[in-house]
């Protein structure tokens, strides 16, 4: 039997998970990435994401849990509700197993290195819609997958899906990694502060010092160079502000000078990101004064600052180019509510579900046509996606008055007990287990 061949455009969570899984299944797989390993390790930050236990197990099954013994583990979490002009309240819970977080630059760079060492093809190129169309119609590949980042033009290959609700809302994300962040003895591993103005997430992360431009140039010229950096434990502080709220850093960002992107929007890094961080830090003194003091005493790791606008989208998962179906996964098709902590989970689970569907289809010699690829993505939505979306809607609805008082009361009563709080944590790990919890 001829060896099947796939091409994946994008090297994020979903793209690399699917590519690695297909490689393990005997496929020949090519991955196109915009940045080389040295460029990733020397580049600016992206949004750090928590890898919760069930997703970590999926990564481990593919040999992708490369930091099993080095990344800081998180098991306890506290969710604090801070309403305006009312008494705040909180509850603490424990995850069934440890979660981790790894700087996305480390994760992507080393996943690419491992993928290539296993025989996968890695090609550094910023691909256009025309490139995807050309590869799709070439007849070289049995499967064409688009899994780009949120700012890629490739997302427009897929038509908006007005029928489906993704559960996410507009946000302005501000992030920094801190060295020397002194946790109080009573602090849990993961803290989530939620308010009408947005959410703040604080958790341990495996960080690194970025390569210098000179190191990037030197290492980029070496063929098959295995690149190593020395990661260390730090703390990620991530603010997900609602536009127009007091946490929204846009006024501070727009007041700074600095480069803009090709679309004329403020840069996500440099002066703009530093101004955004300073803005949210000043407002944390009111929302969470203890956290603001901890942040002020710590050191921001250079180049870890990020400010990014999140504009949710929901798109159909399959398009046809030159008569060939093309599958979109990850951010290409659905934006997950980042405040729900489900970003990495959704990306990984759509990839593992699609891989399982493909294995079953090939076992019966079925075609990987448009109907099948649509069904494979729908299998992910039925098993995981709809529950992730529902959780995102709950996060938003808690503050905007969309939830009935009976549900709010039932939620508060349930998490007031250790059993109920731990059930909430289990639902955070697997949103399908959250559905029954939220229906009370």
In angstroms, the CA 292 to CA 285 distance is: 5
- My answer on whether 148 and 175 are in the same domain is no
DSSP label of 330? G
Rounded distance between C-alpha atoms, residue 291 and residue 404, angstroms: 31
Q: DSSP class of residue 310?
A: E
> Would you tell me how many other CB atoms lie within 10 Å of the CB of residue 260?
10
**113: Cβ–Cβ under 8 A, 6 or more apart, which residues?**
37, 226, 227
CA distance 33 to 152: 11
The pLDDT value given to residue 437:
66
Q: In whole angstroms, how far apart are CA 36 and each of 13, 216, 217, 227, 269?
A: 16, 9, 11, 11, 19
User: Do 85 and 184 reside in the same domain of the chain?
Assistant: yes
The pair of three-digit structure tokens given for residue 66, joined into one six-digit string: 């490369």
- Check whether residue 60 and residue 188 sit in a common domain: yes
CATH number of residue 139's parent domain? 3.50.50.60
Tokens of 328: 């979109």
- For residues 422 and 329, membership in a common domain is answered with yes
pTM value is 0.93
Q: Give, for all 440 residues of the chain, the pLDDT tens digit.
A: 689 999 999 999 999 999 999 999 999 999 999 999 999 999 989 999 999 999 999 999 999 999 999 999 999 999 999 998 889 999 999 999 999 999 999 999 999 999 999 999 999 999 999 999 999 999 999 999 999 887 788 988 999 998 888 788 899 999 999 999 999 999 999 999 999 999 999 999 999 999 888 888 888 766 656 677 889 999 999 999 999 999 999 877 776 655 554 433 447 888 889 999 999 999 999 999 999 999 999 999 999 999 998 888 899 999 999 899 999 998 888 988 888 888 888 999 999 999 999 999 999 999 999 999 999 999 999 999 899 888 888 888 889 888 899 999 999 999 999 999 999 999 999 988 887 666 65
Same domain for 157 and 24:
yes
Instruction: Let me know whether 328 and 209 are in one domain.
Output: no
Domain around 191: 51-102+170-310
- For residue 396, count CB atoms less than 10 angstroms from its CB and return exposed for 0-12, middle for 13-18, buried for 19 or more: middle
Please check whether residues 298 and 211 belong to one and the same domain. yes
Token pair of 429 as six digits: 């790990």
Q: Where residue 81 sits, what CATH number does that domain have?
A: 3.30.9.40
Say how far apart CA 203 and CA 223 lie, in whole Å.
Answer: 37
Residue-level pLDDT at 263: 35
Per the structure, the count of domains in the chain is 2
- Neighbouring-strand partners of residue 173: 240, 308
* Same domain membership, residue 246 and residue 319: no
Distance CA 158, CA 174 (A): 28
Q: Do 48 and 238 touch, CB atoms closer than 8 A?
A: yes
Structure tokens at 78: 């506290």
Listed in sequence order, the DSSP H helices in 221-342 are: 250-254, 270-287, 289-297
Residues 22 and 80 in one domain: no
CA separation for the pair 108, 40 (Å, rounded): 8
* Residue where a domain stops, chosen among 269, 292, 310: 310
Query: How far apart (Å, rounded) are the C-alpha atoms in residues 328 and 149?
Result: 11
Domain boundary at 279, 310, 341, which?
A: 310
Q: CA 271 to CA 200: how far, in whole Å?
A: 22
Do 320 and 381 share a domain, yes or no?
Answer: yes
Report the pLDDT value the prediction gives residue 1, as an integer from 0 to 100. 64
- Same domain for 212 and 342, yes or no, is no
Give dist(CA 388, CA 341) in Å, integer.
Answer: 10
Domain end among 310, 339, 370? 310
Maximum Cα interatomic distance, the chain, rounded to a whole number of Å:
68
| Rounded distance between C-alpha atoms, residue 150 and residue 127, angstroms | 14
- Asked if 87 and 189 sit in the same domain, the reply is yes
d(CA 6, CA 31): 9
E strand residue ranges, 303-401: 306-310, 318-321, 324-328
């Amino acid at each position: 039997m001829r060896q099947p061949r796939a091409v994946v455009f994008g090297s994020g969570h979903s793209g690399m998970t699917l590519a690695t899984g297909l490689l393990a299944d005997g496929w020949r797989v090519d991955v196109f990435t915009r940045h080389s390993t040295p460029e990733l390790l020397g580049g600016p930050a992206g949004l750090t994401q928590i890898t919760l236990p069930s997703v970590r197990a999926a990564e481990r099954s593919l040999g992708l849990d490369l930091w099993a013994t080095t990344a800081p583990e998180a098991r306890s979490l506290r969710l604090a509700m801070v309403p305006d002009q009312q008494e705040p309240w909180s509850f603490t819970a424990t995850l069934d197993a440890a979660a981790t977080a790894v700087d996305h630059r480390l994760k992507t760079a080393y996943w690419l290195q491992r993928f290539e060492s296993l025989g996968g093809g890695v090609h550094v190129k910023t691909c256009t819609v025309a490139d995807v169309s050309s590869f799709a119609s070439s007849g070289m590949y049995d499967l064409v997958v688009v899994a780009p980042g949120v700012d890629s033009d490739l997302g427009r290959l897929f038509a908006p899906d007005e029928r489906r609700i993704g559960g996410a809302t507009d946000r302005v994300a501000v992030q920094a990694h801190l060295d020397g962040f002194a946790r109080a003895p009573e602090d849990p591993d993961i803290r989530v502060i939620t308010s009408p103005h947005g959410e703040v997430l604080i958790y341990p992360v495996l960080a690194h010092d970025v390569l210098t431009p000179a190191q990037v140039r030197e290492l980029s010229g070496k063929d098959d160079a295995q690149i190593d950096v020395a990661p260390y434990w730090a703390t990620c502080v991530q603010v997900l502000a609602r536009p127009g709220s007091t946490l929204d850093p846009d006024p501070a960002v727009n007041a700074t000078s600095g480069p803009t992107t090709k679309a004329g929007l403020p840069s996500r890094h440099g002066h703009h990101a530093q101004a955004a961080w300073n803005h949210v830090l000043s407002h944390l003194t009111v929302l969470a004064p203890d956290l603001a003091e901890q942040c002020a005493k710590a050191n921001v790791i250079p180049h870890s600052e990020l400010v990014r606008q999140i504009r949710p989208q929901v798109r159909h998962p399959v398009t046809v180019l030159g008569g060939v179906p093309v599958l979109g996964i990850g951010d290409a098709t659905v934006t997950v509510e980042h405040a729900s902590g489900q970003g990495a989970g959704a990306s990984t689970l759509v990839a593992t579900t699609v891989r399982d569907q493909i294995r079953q289809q090939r076992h019966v010699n079925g075609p990987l046509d448009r109907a099948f690829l649509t069904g494979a993505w729908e299998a992910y939505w039925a098993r995981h996606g709809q529950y992730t979306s529902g959780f995102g809607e709950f996060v938003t609805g808690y503050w905007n008055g969309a939830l009935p008082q009976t549900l709010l009361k039932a939620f508060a009563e349930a998490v007031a007990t250790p059993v109920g709080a731990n059930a909430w944590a289990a639902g955070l790990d697997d949103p399908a287990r959250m559905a029954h919890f939220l229906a009370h």
